[in-house]
Amino acid sequence: MSLLEGRTAVVTGGARGIGYEIARLFVEEGAAVVLGDLDEAEAVAAAKTLPGTALGFRCDVTVEDEVQSLLEYCTEEFGSLDVLVNNAGITRDKTMRNMSSDDFRSVVDVHLYGAWLGTKHASAIMREQGRGSIVNISSISGKSGNVGQTNYSAAKAGMVGLTKAAAKEVAHLGIRVNAVQPGLIRTAMTEAMPQHAWAAKLGDIPMGRAGEPAEVASVVLFLASDLASYVTGAVIEITGGRNL
């Protein structure tokens, strides 16, 4: 029996990177998935490459109407919304001396406000169904803080508070809300990093290597599925032992 047979899911920022790997694994496990992303053509193209039922939909997670439309698209097309993964992300890394208010606000907007919008509106649908699982993609940067990431670390730490508060609010409705904190994962976001910064980070990882998007996806699958039926408000680190 596949872990998400008959279930439906929305993955934001699902056109590439970690979100795409999550969507791919969900489809392999039997779910029908909607990939929400800024670029509609990319989302649709990515969905077509998945080995099962998947659709692409344009959504900017910082725009409330678009988040609602994305979630409604899933219920209209597939009949329910069982899983939401708040994954969309951006970075605007700079030391505070050089970081503008816009750099700060845009990162907090996408990660924290975007995840709040998703959690709020997905919960409204899931409460009617009497079940649902929401997984927020935080970061180990939200636990340990990184130089040049006062915006990103603040947003990712905020997602932990959001996860725990929401988990308590909606547990009695059959909705679980959890988060993961990946460390250094090999994606376009991290490949843009200067070589010396990459090497320095590797030195801090007890397992001695970066993680792969599929290694994040498998933990998200666990939280999304009934294997985690008694897990809510949890924050799981996926870091190869970094920043313990």
Q: Judge whether 230 counts as a catalytic residue.
A: no
Counting beta carbons within 10 angstroms of the beta carbon of residue 99, is it exposed (0 to 12), middle (13 to 18) or buried (19 or more)?
A: middle
Question: Cα(47)–Cα(54) distance, rounded to whole angstroms?
Answer: 5
Question: Cα(138)–Cα(156) distance, rounded to whole angstroms?
Answer: 5
Spell out the alpha helix ranges (H) of the chain.
17-28, 40-48, 64-78, 101-108, 114-129, 141-144, 150-170, 188-191, 195-203, 213-224
Question: Cα(78)–Cα(71) distance, rounded to whole angstroms?
Answer: 11
Judged by beta carbon, residue 1 or residue 192, the one nearer ligand NDP is 192
Judged by beta carbon, residue 57 or residue 78, the one nearer ligand NDP is 57
Q: CB 88 → ligand NDP: shortest distance, Å?
A: 3
Amino acid (one-letter) located at 29: E
Question: Cα(111)–Cα(168) distance, rounded to whole angstroms?
Answer: 21
Interacting residues with ligand NDP (CB under 6 A): 12-13, 15-19, 37-39, 59-62, 87-90, 110, 137, 139, 182, 184-185, 187-190
Q: CB 68 → ligand NDP: shortest distance, Å?
A: 14
HSE (side-chain half, CA atoms, 13 Å) at 16: 12
Question: Cα(224)–Cα(166) distance, rounded to whole angstroms?
Answer: 16
Q: CB 54 → ligand NDP: shortest distance, Å?
A: 15
Judged by beta carbon, residue 68 or residue 87, the one nearer ligand NDP is 87
Query: Closest CB to ligand NDP belongs to which residue?
Result: 17
Q: CB 101 → ligand NDP: shortest distance, Å?
A: 18
Q: CB 124 → ligand NDP: shortest distance, Å?
A: 20
Judged by beta carbon, residue 31 or residue 184, the one nearer ligand NDP is 184
Other CB atoms closer than 10 Å to residue 230's CB: what's the count? 7
Q: Choose, from 73, 113, 152, 230, the residue flagged as catalytic.
A: 152
Judged by beta carbon, residue 125 or residue 140, the one nearer ligand NDP is 140
Task: Find the Cα–Cα–Cα–Cα dihedral 119, 125, 126, 128, rounded to 10°.
Answer: 150
Name the residues annotated as catalytic: 152
